[in-house]
Amino acid sequence: MNALISLYDALVSIDVPAEKARAVVDAMERDMAAILATKGDIELLRQDVEGVPLAGKSDIELLRQDVEGVRLAAKSDMELLSQHVEGVRLAAKSNMELLSQQVEGVRLAAKSDMELLSQHVEGFRLAAKGDIELLRRDVEGVRLAAKGDIELLRRDLEGARTAARTDVEMLRASAKSDAEMLRSSMTIRLGSMLVVAIGVLFAALTLTLHWVVR
């Protein structure tokens, strides 16, 4: 109780409100009553301990034998576990060696495949280079052939233009001659028609006069 009073005084001395200091002291008092053992509790515990009979030598020997059996069983289990672990380690080592050999085989096979692929790529590159050269030559040949064909076409067009000009001149001369002949023919036809018309008219007048006289 003196400790709780001292705690209360200390809290008040550092400007803690009296209500809060009282609440802290009450809380500690309840905790001490619930958690800390009292003198009466200790006396009851002492009586309970004195009332428990002491274990005999035979019980201790049985307990020692049980502990020894457990120790031996644990030792045997540990040995078996060690052997199992050793077997697993050896198997893992063997598997690792096999895996290493397989990886090495795969690496060598991949290296060989890469070399073959490199050779194929080089062959394709050389073949493509040759094809490009042939294509360039073909294009050059086509260009020269096209140039020659264009020159021939130009000459043909020039000849056709000259021939067309000559034909136009001939057609113009023929048309002029035909026009002259047509004009002469029309003149002759018109003259003939005029003579025929005058003859018909004269005959008609003659018949009319003859009919009138009668």
The residue ranges of every structural domain in the chain are 1-41
Among the residue ranges 88-97, 147-156, 167-176, the one predicted with the least confidence is 88-97
Mean pLDDT of 125-131: 86
Q: What is the pLDDT of residues 134-161, one digit of tens each?
A: 888 888 888 898 888 888 988 888 888 8
pLDDT of residue 55: 47
Instruction: Tell me what the mean pLDDT of segment 2-24 comes to.
Output: 77
Q: Please determine, for residue 91, whether its predicted confidence score (pLDDT) is greater than 50.
A: yes
User: Taking CA 107 as the corner, what is the angle to CA 103 and CA 108, rounded to the nearest 5 degrees?
Assistant: 120
Average pLDDT, the chain: 79
Given a cut of 60, whether residue 79 has pLDDT beyond it is yes
Banded model confidence at residue 54, pLDDT cuts 50, 70, 90: very low
pLDDT score for 211: 78
State the alpha helices, DSSP H only, in the chain: 2-13, 18-35, 39-51, 57-213
Q: Give one DSSP letter per residue of 98-133, joined into a string.
A: HHHHHHHHHHHHHHHHHHHHHHHHHHHHHHHHHHHH
Quick one: average pLDDT of 102-110?
A: 84
For residue 29, what are the contacts with CB-CB under 8 A and spacing of at least 6? 4
Higher-confidence position of 129 and 6: 129
- Is the pLDDT at 51 greater than 70? The verdict is no
Mean pLDDT over 100-126 rounds to: 85
Q: Which is higher by pLDDT, 81 or 122?
A: 122
Q: Which two tokens stand for residue 194?
A: 């005029």
Cα–Cα distance for residue pair 99/101, rounded to 1 Å: 5
